[in-house]
């Protein structure tokens, strides 16, 4: 499935507050030239260079993906990156007047709606989709993530959680802009009341609410679920954000209990392979 690179037809803006900082931010997605990729620009730090959404600029993935270029930094960028990636937007300049994008709906639905509002423009250069000659895998105890050769992008995720309302959830989905908008984008981050208290003590999670996150207590759920298996859908949203740094790839990704850390390790293996291919 060959396709050309895509950008947006026109800029589109959204104002909100960051998930961790709670700070107000205005974010504008702008069209960008073919071959320029996804870049962030801090409009509140004039004169600073754009920050490419590329592996070399990732400085921290502990709680949220952070990208840095000199004095300019952005963090919690994984959901906007997931939306642009799944919607096949290859070139976009993301302008923000603060370090953290708006949490918006807590998933990527607001961002896919922004992309639809802006319109998608096919550009005159082909997108280079990575094809795998063999499997790539990362294992850590019972957790793993594997990428197998496959003719398009498909993800199968298994989540196993001891919470009585979560249990085992499995979802197998072929990722297209349409399937992502319908089945994945609306899935929010899961949090537990005790984790949120700990985060707030660290000065994080200030923008989190029971609307933009699915919050569970020991025995119940304080949020209204969008799907009974919203957890596994959000895990797939996060994988797409993490592998977006590799660029377009055809693979069947099979993951069991994988986290940002394992996803990032798989992305770096795929990226090493892509670089050798392109030499």
- To the nearest whole angstrom, how small is the minimum distance from the Cβ of residue 139 to Zn ion? 22
Round to whole Å and give the CA distance between 185 and 174: 14
Based on CB atoms, which residue is closest to Zn ion, 238 or 265? Answer: 238
**Pairing mode, strands 12-17 and 24-31:** antiparallel
Based on CB atoms, which residue is closest to Zn ion, 118 or 187? Answer: 187
134 labelled catalytic: no
Round to whole Å and give the CA distance between 247 and 146: 17
Q: What is the full DSSP assignment across 141-210?
A: TTEEEEEE--SSEEEEEEEEE-STTTEEEEEEEE--HHHIIIIITTPPPEEEHHHHHHHHHTT--TT--T
Residue nearest to Zn ion (CB): 238
Q: Which stretch binds Zn ion (CB under 5 A): 119-127, 196-204, 225-233, 236-244?
A: 236-244
Based on CB atoms, which residue is closest to Zn ion, 189 or 223? Answer: 189
- By CB under 5 A, the residues from 42 to 101 that bind Zn ion are none
Q: Over the Cα atoms of the chain, what is R_g?
A: 18
Q: Which stretch binds Zn ion (CB under 5 A): 19-27, 123-131, 182-190, 201-209?
A: 182-190
Round to whole Å and give the CA distance between 66 and 182: 28
- By CB under 5 A, the residues from 189 to 228 that bind Zn ion are 189
Based on CB atoms, which residue is closest to Zn ion, 208 or 247? Answer: 208
Q: What is the largest CA-CA distance in the chain?
A: 54
Give the active site residue among 33, 79, 163, 260: 260
Q: Are residues 170 and 267 in contact, defined by beta-carbon separation less than 8 angstroms? A: no
Q: Which stretch binds Zn ion (CB under 5 A): 96-104, 164-172, 191-199, 232-240?
A: 232-240
Helix (H) or strand (E) holding 231: helix 230-243
Please select the residue that binds Zn ion; options are 230, 238, 242, 265, rule is CB under 5 A.
238
Catalytic residue numbers read 260
Q: Applying CB under 5 A, which residues contact Zn ion? A: 189, 238
């Amino acid at each position: 499935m060959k396709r050309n690179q895509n950008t947006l037809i026109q800029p589109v803006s959204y104002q909100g507050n960051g998930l961790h900082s709670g700070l107000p931010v205005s974010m504008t997605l702008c069209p960008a030239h073919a071959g320029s990729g996804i870049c962030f620009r801090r409009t509140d730090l004039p004169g600073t260079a754009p920050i490419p959404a590329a592996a070399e600029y990732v400085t921290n993935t502990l709680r949220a993906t952070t990208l840095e270029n000199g004095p300019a930094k952005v963090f919690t960028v994984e959901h906007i990156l997931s939306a642009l990636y799944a919607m096949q937007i290859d070139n976009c300049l993301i302008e923000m007047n603060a370090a953290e994008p708006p949490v918006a709906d807590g998933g990527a639905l607001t961002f896919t709606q922004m992309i639809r509002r802006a319109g998608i423009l096919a550009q005159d250069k082909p997108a280079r989709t990575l094809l795998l000659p063999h499997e790539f895998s990362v294992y850590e105890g019972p957790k793993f993530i594997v990428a197998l050769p496959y003719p398009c992008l498909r993800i199968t995720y298994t989540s196993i959680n001891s919470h009585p309302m979560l249990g085992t959830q499995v979802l197998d989905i072929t990722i297209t802009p349409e399937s992502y908008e319908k089945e994945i984008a609306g899935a929010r981050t899961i949090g537990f009341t005790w984790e949120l208290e700990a985060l707030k003590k660290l000065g994080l999670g200030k923008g989190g609410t029971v609307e933009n996150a699915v919050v569970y207590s020991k025995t119940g759920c304080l949020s209204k679920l969008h799907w009974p298996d919203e957890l596994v859908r959000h895990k797939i949203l996060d994988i797409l954000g993490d592998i977006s740094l590799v660029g377009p790839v055809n693979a069947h990704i099979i993951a069991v209990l994988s986290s940002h850390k394992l996803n990032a390790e798989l992305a770096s293996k795929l990226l090493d392979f892509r670089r050798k291919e392109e030499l």
